[in-house]
Structure 1
């Protein structure tokens, strides 16, 4: 184990990199507080835990386990590595063993033939379920217990194995997707499990957020409804990262009143001293900004893996006319403090503020390049390290670059670094997890696939390439360093993004601000309607059950009857069609079954890509990277769900180009600011991948443009928009030539700053700007949610419009560049290659709009 002081010296490189350090925060160590084992706990299990090194549990584990044993819904919200699994497995397995013992006391008597208690364990990923199975097997072996039957069951489980689980398993480990698509629609085959259900465990429940969280919440309402029909009223046990209002979030997820949920939040586990540094890569003197993000890898979708099993989340839908968009499920809005953005003594030409002395724009080194250097140095020092990146391509790039650096020092070191991401085959991911646990690998460059509770402990350091979207995610990733009470080092390395730049210079917004609540909306009609159909197909919906699904349920059922999806009878609402109602919705918004990436010559399956992101990532001619090897896509067959690729070494990457239109479908709210109009409502965003560019790596010189013929995709969502009529443009000194660039720059910056007001990520949002929009009749800027039906982010922007726009204006004006850069107005996901952009005109335009804002 390398000391954190030594590791910080490694990062600083003997002082040569000291200018990149913007802040250091030392988080003190914490002593653990233990308690006695509960008197009700099964003796064999206690002996098993002791054999594994747990002599006595922490007090928070006992508090949560006691509450669960007493039948109270319980949420345990404590830090990474605090032993949350013991708190739910101790009562669940003790109940299973007690019921099993009762059924075998006197096998000759009919009254002894009681049902064995069952437990259902749900988690966001297959990897986490597999990890829990290994841990449970280890516990049962240590306990000498042979009468408890535990199994995983998911979409990869064979029919024969599934039948065994249905008939015999006491504990079933699965995910919400399997519940939705298989278990609930076929509930009669699972009657034994449902009728004996004592506990439902929801692990890493903070991952069930945003639209994905709303889907999971409705799946759980359907589960409770069916369990009750078989005579069971299970107790829910939830394990979460530290979040705001965990009882409220847990209650909303399972569909009960918060008063019946016990929250345990006092973390009594020991924690080592943690050194947390904020880091900004250096400027590159004498280098001009390219027309798009200068990182050849991070322009890929940062598709979070925490909600896929395996795989990732939703696709991009970047906006044209001058716009950008990339929907991935996120969280719902919560106001955040600390919105004063800006630094003294800087500003773009033409704004009336003091202009910086730099004669030309000077880009900073990319976060991925910086992370690769730091990871190489830490690996040479012998530190076990995770480097979290924002995208799949980022993980591959960091791993490849790090190996290149290491092989110059010692060829054997390069083999001790690898990438880890969604889309790998399950056996590849298991092998990588085993290798980092055992020390065969020293370092992994990973997406947030390893943010969740897969048991990888004993790490010395964590590097985070860019703000991960929420403080909850940040602390989950940081918690991987120094687990089990040891010291650890964490470094957050800023990307060139307005929010990242702000945060590394405002540490109070990270360290002195509470974590967000996990928020979602189960009443979103786009989410609720298909679940009502699925519930009616499982068992006819009765009037007295409607409150379970929310206040709009009755009205929505009427619409479904009018459309012919449901039929109303005196006994309830019935599903009318032959096809499976569960197929009406995809919990993770992936747009269908994953597209398989197959090597043409050998037929080898390399991995998978979400169907809806296939257009932009594995289109014909695209470069696909897998464990450092590059492949070129020969053909994308959307109808077959296959992308055929050929292994080829190339010196370029590919970037998709988009054409997008936004149409206002309804105006739900509107506020006049004098001549300026703020609107909020439903919009249709239609996006089509029209082609792609080949750019040489690493200098991003454009090598060619190619066209594609792919289908258009339409997203019905919600948007906020503001108009800039001719009088406002004239007051801002923005003429017809600079209007498109001013609007485009304001749009990009506002998307980058909205996460300060709504607990979301830039990639949860999309936007569009145009000098003349057909629905408003004037210049308009749109920002929309990247989810069907909306997720609340745009609505939050509408509510806090003036605050949001002032933060946007200050972020642009305070940036040190002259004409615009990725830290202010350039976007890493712009469908128009960040052209046109007019930074100075954008500041003048925002000043003119804000002059009409209410006090």
Structure 2
């Protein structure tokens, strides 16, 4: 069904028009074809034609041709633009060419050195689901091409040992993830010699997903891979193809990811695939009549759990006093999205509804099913939920059902944001801001794929950030995409990978350039601490423990908790350990594909939650308390030029979160029907934080009252977290924050910003080193923003655990003015390239003085 008809369904013939705060029509684009490259394998070309690709798009040919001629390639085009063809065509052609050359050489020559070895291909992606989806696509191509001499297989932590041995001995193309590379393939490289020696191409799919500390880890894993390939082959190593649908500066990001100069990367960004008209609607749920919430005077903390509308909260937290009665509350985003999804499904649309949490996905699917049952009982089974934690076979069945049309709609987490091939969708609902513009365009790209028209609806949660966005469409539609930011030179990340590299093969001095400019310095520290042993020929790992166990690429935080039905022993799914306390505690309601279960017992020792099937009319929401304690101050300094000394510190802290209770809320109205205390152990993250204090005299000089202090500190905390990535090469998701009007360790109002990784990652230390520059940029970013009371461009955070409340923008500027007035004479700072200058917050980079400018 075309988008204009669906827009009328969405607006209910005008009855819901007031909820649409903005409607944009993104114009269609004609596709531009190109001829198949002359070097392309004829059989593969015939296979693509049999699948309906008579001629490729021009960007596919440009990227494939660059890779075929040995150039590292970054392909940055939209979702559904056919990136898979661009990397599989040269990769599989190469393997077939090697195979044919070897056969001809064997027939023509008796000398074995005249026979070219058969090449191999490695495909890397963030998830097992995407690898399985790509395998399915390649197998369809090979069947259509009637090619039987290519052996393609997935291999990951779930692959049985016997199957893994077959892959090691025979596979031409291996599809896996960086975790398998880090924990298995590279440490066990002796078993992969055949594959690594002949590795021609490494495809890195969904490259924008490799950002922050995770991106730095993956970058170093790829450097280790390249080093072993060079050792076994004696050549320059494989060609890298990095594919990403949504990212700024794709060539620079790809170069940093694979460890080469930016000039060595060919960037293909001109999307020549056709695109239908895409209608983008910003949607604010309607107001409801005033309702007594039943929470008068109820004080809660919501740092990192799940909010009432099913949204996952972040690491930032605040004590908040619930108002007695909200004047005009709006309908929850999940309830609104469920009704919209039901109406669109009735109209025949095929849809995805992206939610911010597993609970949200289940809630939207269940509510939509109920609405459809009232219209047509046969339709209720056409909607389902899709999320992480389902068993692999269940996820594959859902993916197949939405492809074939057996299901018309899925309510999903961002598990379907990445490139699993689901085409032919009419509509995408995005329930709550997903955190970045990269994510929102990645999700929106699912609508109207393959040149068809599509409808995208962003449904705002009742949150200041979402509210701002639906009334400022330029912040979504016109703002540039974020760059993929990560720092492979971060010593906290680099150190364990140097140990892993030395364990794989002793690390020679002439190989240090592979790991960046800081490698020698970090190796000296590792040697001094006894982690590595230095010999004339290089650095050696001499410990019995596997060096790969020193770090976890994703920082997942332990073994997942299995959710098991007590009566049958059937495993329903898994929950990440950090989230288990808040979602599968005793008495919690666990929803699985519309069926409700109540948790009998959470066994943290055996990592299992026992549940029983029970129909209930309520949901459960956990409450937790987060505190931060300074364990060891590594460095400190005092700014004493103002009304009172402002103390800066950086040190080791414990960030402790404990789930203390949960509330039952009747569905769908969310009325409170009860609460219960819980006895769960606290969970502590030991990390590194930077902090600054604001004594009472500073608060008074800023004109702050007891009512405005929390909001001023909170706003300053958010803005400083948003600005630190300009000074430390990190992502804001690598950081956490706490602000408090009186902290027990500092004895003053204090703002903390901490590394959200065990042991720290170097970001807080960078903030401490550049404290004045950092706060000056923070103050200017807030003050320069034209908004009235705070927005995502200044003080609102997409991951705030207290729904961006309280925030006092003007008070934050006054506070930072007084704090900065305490600063000693500003110091010149250096960026990563050694250039001197001050941070220019308007440009987000170090501002360098012109030649001849006097320096302080």
TM-score of the two chains, using structure 1 as the length reference: 0.86
Mapped to 1, the partners of 2:126 and 2:84 lie a distance apart of: 15
Change (3 A) 1:404 1:37: same
Partner of 1:167: 169
User: Paired residue for 1:259?
Assistant: 263
CA separation in 1, counterparts of 2:365 and 2:723?
34
- In structure 1, the residue corresponding to 2:752 is in which secondary structure? strand
Q: Give 1:743 shift.
A: 4.0
Q: Is the 8 A contact 1:121 1:202 kept in 2?
A: yes
CA distance in 2, matches of 1:791, 1:403: 48
Q: Which residue does 1:339 correspond to in 2? A: none
- 1:716 is matched with which residue? 687
Using the size of structure 2 for normalisation, the TM-score is 0.86
The gaps in structure 1 that reach 5 residues or longer are: 304-314, 325-348, 350-358, 816-822
Cα-to-partner distance string for 1:352-405 (whole Å, 9 max, x where unaligned): xxxxxxx96322222111111111111111110100001111101111111111
- In structure 2, the CA distance between the partners of 1:147 and 1:139, relative to structure 1 (3 Å rule), is same
Trace 1:222-241 onto structure 2 (pairs within 5 A).
Answer: 222-231=224-233, 232=235, 233-241=237-245
Q: How many residues are paired up?
A: 792
Which of 707, 711, 725 is the aligned partner of 1:745?
A: 711
Partner in structure 2 of residue 657 of structure 1: 624
Q: 1:715 to 1:206 in 2, by over 3 A?
A: same
In the aligned structure 1, how far is the partner of 2:407 from the partner of 2:18? Answer: 31
Q: Distance in 2 between the 1:236 and 1:659 partners? A: 43
Question: Is residue 354–residue 361 contact of structure 2 (8 Å, CA) maintained in 1?
Answer: yes
Aligned partners of 2:395 and 2:753: how far apart in 1? 37
Q: Are residue 705 (structure 1) and residue 673 (structure 2) matched?
A: no
Shift of 1:656: 3.7
- Alignment equivalent of 2:470, drawn from 504, 509, 523: 504
Contact 1:749 1:825 in 2 (8 A): no
- Cα separation, 2, equivalents of 1:132 and 1:697: 42
Alpha carbons of structure 1 residues 553 and 670: separation in structure 2 relative to 1, 3 Å = farther
Matched, 1:273 2:245: no
1:486 corresponds to: 452
Q: For residue 837 of structure 2, what is the aligned residue in structure 1?
A: none
Q: Distance in 1 between matches of 2:785 and 2:581?
A: 32
- In the superposition, relative to structure 1, how do residues 814 and 571 fare at CA in structure 2: closer, same or farther (>3 Å)? closer
Change (3 A) 1:854 1:401: same
Partner of 1:635, secondary structure, is strand
1:93 match: secondary structure: helix
Q: After alignment, is 668-677 or 267-276 more displaced?
A: 668-677
**Aligned match of 1:461:** 427
Match of 1:588, SS?
A: coil
| Cα deviation, residue 445, structure 1 | 0.4
Q: Does 1:62 align with 2:61?
A: yes
Are residues 1:766 and 2:765 paired? Answer: no
Query: What's the C-alpha RMSD, in Å, of the aligned pairs?
Result: 3.3
2:48 is the alignment partner of 1:71: no
| TM alignment of 1:752-831, pairs within 5 A | 765-788=735-758, 789-790=760-761, 795=767, 798=775, 800-806=777-783, 812=789, 829-830=801-802
Could you say if the C-alpha distance between residues 586 and 167 of structure 1 is closer, same or farther in structure 2, counting changes exceeding 3 Å?
same
**Local SS of the residue matching 1:514:** coil
SS state at 1:63 partner: helix
Tell me the alpha carbon deviations over residues 171-199 of structure 1, each in whole angstroms, 9 at most, x when there is no partner. 00111111011100000000000000000
1:475 paired residue among 435, 441, 446: 441
Q: Secondary structure of the residue that 1:631 maps to in structure 2?
A: strand
Distance 2:89 2:326 in 1: 63
Task: Label 1:723 to 1:293 Cα distance change in 2 as closer, same or farther (>3 A).
Answer: closer
* Bigger relative contact order (CA 8 A; separation at least 6): 1
- Residue 191 (structure 2) aligns with: 189
Task: Give the match for residue 434 of structure 1.
Answer: 400
Shift of 1:570: 1.9
Aligned to 2:530, what secondary structure does the other structure show?
Answer: coil
Question: SS of 2:407's equivalent?
Answer: coil
Distance 1:811 1:284, change over 3 A: farther
Change (3 A) 1:79 1:425: same
Hey, what does 2:222 align to over in structure 1?
220
Aligned match of 2:378 in 412, 434, 459? 412
Distance 2:633 2:800 in 1: 28
TM-superposition CA deviations, 1:560-582 (whole Å, max 9, x none): 23333222222222222212111
Deviations along 1:409-458, one digit per CA (max 9) or x if unpaired, are 11111100000011111111110011101111111100111111111011
Secondary structure at the aligned position of 2:467 is classed as helix
Aligned mates of 1:725, 1:548 — CA distance in 2: 48
Q: How far off is 1:500 after superposition?
A: 1.7
Residue 520 of structure 1 contacts residue 791 of structure 1 at CA under 8 Å; is this kept in 2? no
Residue 644 of structure 1 and its aligned partner are, at CA, apart by 2.5
After superposing the two structures, state which structure 1 stretch, 113-122 or 694-703, moved more: 694-703
Q: 1:319–1:661: 8 Å Cα contact kept in structure 2?
A: no
Q: Secondary structure at the match of 1:281?
A: coil
* Secondary structure class of the residue paired with 1:412: helix
Distance in 1 separating the partners of 2:229 and 2:320: 47
Q: What residue is the counterpart of 2:656 in the other structure?
A: 687
**Structure 1 stretch 130-139 or stretch 679-688: which is displaced more?**
679-688
